[in-house]
Structure formats: C-alpha cells, structure tokens
C-alpha cells in the first residue's frame, strides 16, 4: 500500500470494510477464508508498490551510471516516507493477524502476535545501527 496512492489506500480500506461486513453476515466459519482473501489483496498491493520502487531505483541507477556519477539515493538514510509506509503496512496487517491469533490461541496467541509485530518494527527501525551492516559510505573509506 503506497502512502502516496490515496486511491489504492481507499480501495484497500473499502476491501477491509467489505470483508468485515461479509464476516458479520456469513459468521465465523468463513472467517479464515475472508481474512486470507483480504491478505492476498494487501499482498498484491505491496507487490505492486515494491515493483514500482524497484523499477524507479533501477532507472535512477542506470541513469546515474550512464552519466558517470553516483545514484542520487546512494548513501541516503531510509526516508521518512519509507518508514511511515512500513509502519502503516505493519498496522494494517496487525488487524487480521490479531484476529487470527486471538481466535486460535486466545490471549496467549494475541500476545505472541503483538510481540512479533513489535519485534519486526524494532528491527526495521534499528537496522541501520546493527553491527556488520554495510552502507555506501563504508565503501568510500
């Protein structure tokens, strides 16, 4: 879900509303199928966003290489938009993960799910500070 694409964000929000409405109407026996369907749509949205970003970065690198310079993104610390997007995606996925965990393993499952969500976000937030992580600035030395 690209935070710069309000139409896609609204489409996913509508899909979530429809999924929740269908769950209320169909009951809990269809809950897993509904959640898997919604997560599939979120995954497709993420794949499309990642594909666009990879193509854009590749084009930037190819343009930079053709000019004989460095990539404009070289040495750049991850931008606010990327961190914000990761946090939004994490929270969107936390909703169905929490529902599944609570339905399958009650409070213990919910706690484990949220420990995992917080852990992934903590590692993502601290990854530039982890030992052994190479950056473009390290290569310049």
For the chain, the domains span 1-76, 78-131
Q: Scan for tokens 């369907």, then name that residue.
A: 37
Is the pLDDT reported for residue 115 higher than 90? yes
CA distance 71 to 61: 5
Cα–Cα distances in angstroms (integers) from residue 23 to residues 3, 17, 49, 108, in the given order: 27, 10, 28, 23
Predicted confidence (pLDDT) per residue in 17-67, tens digit: 998 889 888 888 888 888 888 888 888 888 888 888 899 998 888 888 888
**Which band of pLDDT confidence, cut at 50, 70 and 90, is reported for residue 112?**
very high
Decide: 53 and 60 in contact? Cβ < 8 Å: no
What's the confidence (pLDDT) of residue 71? 46
Identify the DSSP state of 98.
H
CA 7/CA 10 separation, integer angstroms: 5
Q: Once rounded to an integer, what is the mean pLDDT over residues 78-98?
A: 81
Q: Are 109 and 102 in contact (CB under 8 A)?
A: yes
pLDDT, position 79: 66
Please give the DSSP secondary-structure letter assigned to residue 129.
G
């Amino acid at each position: 879900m690209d935070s710069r694409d309000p139409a896609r964000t609204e489409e996913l929000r509508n899909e979530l509303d429809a999924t929740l409405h269908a769950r209320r109407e169909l009951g809990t026996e269809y809950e897993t199928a509904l959640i898997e369907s919604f997560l599939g749509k979120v995954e497709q949205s993420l794949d499309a966003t990642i594909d666009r970003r990879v193509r854009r970065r590749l084009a930037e690198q190819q343009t930079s290489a053709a000019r004989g310079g460095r990539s404009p993104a070289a040495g750049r610390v991850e931008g606010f938009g990327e961190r914000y997007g990761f946090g939004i995606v994490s929270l969107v996925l936390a909703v169905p993960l929490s529902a599944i965990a609570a339905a399958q393993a009650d409070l213990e499952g919910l706690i484990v799910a949220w420990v995992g969500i917080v852990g992934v976000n903590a590692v993502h937030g601290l990854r530039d500070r982890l030992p052994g992580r190479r950056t473009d600035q390290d290569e310049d030395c």
